[in-house]
Structure 1
Amino acid sequence: MSKVALITGTSTGLGQSLALQMAKQGFRVFATMRDLSKADQLINAASQGAALEVMELDVTDSDSIQNCIDTIIRDAGRIDLLINNAGAGFVKTTEHASEEEIRWVTDVNYLGVVRCTKAVLPYMREARSGHVINISSVGGLVGQPFNELYCAAKFAVEGYTEALASYITPAFNINFTAVEPGGIHSEFANNVLSQLERSQGYPEDEYQGVFNQYIGGMRSRSPEQTAEIYQTSDQVADVVLQVVQAEEPPIRVRTSKWANELCNFKSGLDQDGKKQQRMVIESFLPEF
């Protein structure tokens, strides 16, 4: 019997690659997106006969999430795998960001993960089986210039994933993994630039010089340096599939050599997070 996978944010980029690759691997994939008008590219790319169904799901709307999951449970009877992929970049200083923007970047990148996870956990707990994969970022381990609000949301995803793995995994056999890509050649990066353009860049204040250095540093990278940092969506999806198929999935995993090197001071002693998980379980839940 095919395993049932729910993936958020599948209209473009990594989400689309995941939906297509997993359908080809024999999963029954429920590929969700906020705006179904963007579904044509995914539908047209899907192999004929692939078990891939496109559904509406807005990670910022609890009713939308619950309606989608109720439909999947009625139709498929279970959800074996949730991939919380939906997210959005945000490049702006704390001082320049509006209250609305701060709420939005947190809502999309962190609270959406919590909402979707909350909605599937009762079914996974009843089955005593399941896997929740949260697409995080190297920005969830290492703070980066002008990305503090995005990084803060991804740091929250990391803590959320670790904490769930410390008691739900041993008690109910549900695994949790944070996947931490570096750069991805996808619509995600384009959306960040578009968002920056809509806000008309940075005003002429004391931050502008630092921001120009930041942009200049990105533009000065050689093609070889750029190739080290940026992966294709398919390359990152390959890593996610390895995690899905692992007998003992990691708590966290980077998706490239560059990502591992950037995060080495944070993750070098415990690459997959399993040592930390075991220490926490032994400290707080010694019976396990």
Structure 2
Amino acid sequence: MSKIILITGTSTGLGISVAVQAAQAGHTVYATMRNTAKRALLDAAAEQAGVSLNVLTLDVQDQSSIDTAVDQIIALHGRIDVLVNNAGQGFVRTIEQATEAEISRVMDINHMGVVRTIKAVIPHMRAARSGHIVNITSVGGLVGQPFNEIYCAAKFAVEGLTEAMASYLTPAFGIRFTAVEPGGISTEFAATVLKQIEDTGGMFDDEYLPVLQTYIGGAQSRMGAGAYQTPDEVAQVVMSVISTTQPPLRIRTSDWAEELTRFKTTTDPDGSKQQEMIVSRFLGDL
């Protein structure tokens, strides 16, 4: 069955791949981004794939922008079947070095951006007694990693948000939730990290510098060890989740991601046991 799918953050990388693959599967796709002047990569990918996408402006930091996009889709179709919260921003900097403004921005985009889009879509899904919200999180939402404490904090928050909302919106209103947890996505990780560091003041010549250099060097060496997937590979996992009638609460996207998180996920890989226990304990037979 064709679905109405809203995707955030589709100007690059994974967002483009999900949008294109969803359109190829026959769904009606609304690909959104903060600045549609940056849609060139999306348009090129859609043209190459021979698919049509609906492109809308949606800034996850602006509730009115989100509401406007959602209202447009509802006015045309009367429903949104799937929301894919993909918009996000990486950040590699110690909490000691980061400014409060930088910390607030990372948390706002990666956590509050998800909160805002869910807030706009949930009333329509609740009225329909159906819907699926897919949050692109990260293995960094399960396992803290060096120099990523601010990014990981935001992704941990999205994981908790996903679990908590699923504990009552799924049994009461039929709205399903999935956290998709990639490892690295091969968009030239080291170069991206270095650019972000330079954009925020460069590497500080302090006691953290040799540790940071070790981290970046290690990231480069892991490129051939299964740590990084292509956006298309991760998008295939997202599409498998969207297409199933009983989507998992959480899913990793690679063997490397499974191995990294195994101490937290071995006894309950998809989160279903935990979720059943929470629903039973707090809501009984609802």
Would the TM-score normalized by the shorter structure come out above 0.5? yes
1:123-162 superposed matches below 5 A: 123-162=124-163
Find the counterpart in structure 2 of residue 271 from structure 1: 269
Find the counterpart in structure 2 of residue 199 from structure 1: 200
Cα offset for 1:245? 1.1
- State the AA in 2 paired with 1:198: D
Find the counterpart in structure 1 of residue 27 from structure 2: 27
Q: Does the aligned pair in 2 maintain the 1:27–1:51 contact within 8 Å?
A: no
SS state of the match for residue 112, structure 1? helix
Give a deviation string over 1:55-88, Cα, whole Å, max 9, x none: 0000000010001101111112110000000001
Counterparts of 1:2 and 1:103, CA distance in 2: 38
Give a deviation string over 1:213-271, Cα, whole Å, max 9, x none: 212322344x632xx00000000000011111112110000000000000000111100
SS state of the match for residue 179, structure 2? strand
**Quick check: 243-252 or 156-165, which moved more?**
243-252
Find the counterpart in structure 2 of residue 7 from structure 1: 7
Find the counterpart in structure 2 of residue 71 from structure 1: 72
Cα offset for 1:43? 1.9
Pair 203,193 (structure 1): closer, same or farther in 2 beyond 3 Å? closer
SS state of the match for residue 19, structure 2? helix
Q: Does the aligned pair in 1 maintain the 2:16–2:45 contact within 8 Å?
A: no
1:1-288 superposed matches below 5 A: 2-47=2-47, 50-186=51-187, 190-221=191-222, 224-225=224-225, 228-288=226-286
Counterparts of 2:78 and 2:165, CA distance in 1: 24
Structure 1 unaligned segments of length 5 or more: list them: none
Q: Does the aligned pair in 2 maintain the 1:4–1:27 contact within 8 Å?
A: yes
Counterparts of 2:224 and 2:196, CA distance in 1: 27
Q: Does the aligned pair in 2 maintain the 1:32–1:55 contact within 8 Å?
A: yes
Counterparts of 1:179 and 1:132, CA distance in 2: 11
Counterparts of 2:99 and 2:262, CA distance in 1: 33
Aligned residues: 285
SS state of the match for residue 46, structure 1? helix
Cα offset for 1:186? 2.3
Counterparts of 1:282 and 1:190, CA distance in 2: 47
Stretches of 4+ moved more than 3 A in 1? 47-51, 187-192
- State the AA in 2 paired with 1:29: V
SS state of the match for residue 197, structure 2? helix
Cα offset for 1:11? 0.6
Cα offset for 1:206? 1.6
- Give TM-score scaled by structure 2 length: 0.96
Structure 2 unaligned segments of length 5 or more: list them: none
Counterparts of 1:23 and 1:219, CA distance in 2: 33
Cα offset for 1:193? 2.8
Q: CA RMSD in A?
A: 1.6
Q: Does the aligned pair in 2 maintain the 1:5–1:82 contact within 8 Å?
A: yes
- State the AA in 2 paired with 1:247: T
Q: Does the aligned pair in 1 maintain the 2:166–2:176 contact within 8 Å?
A: yes
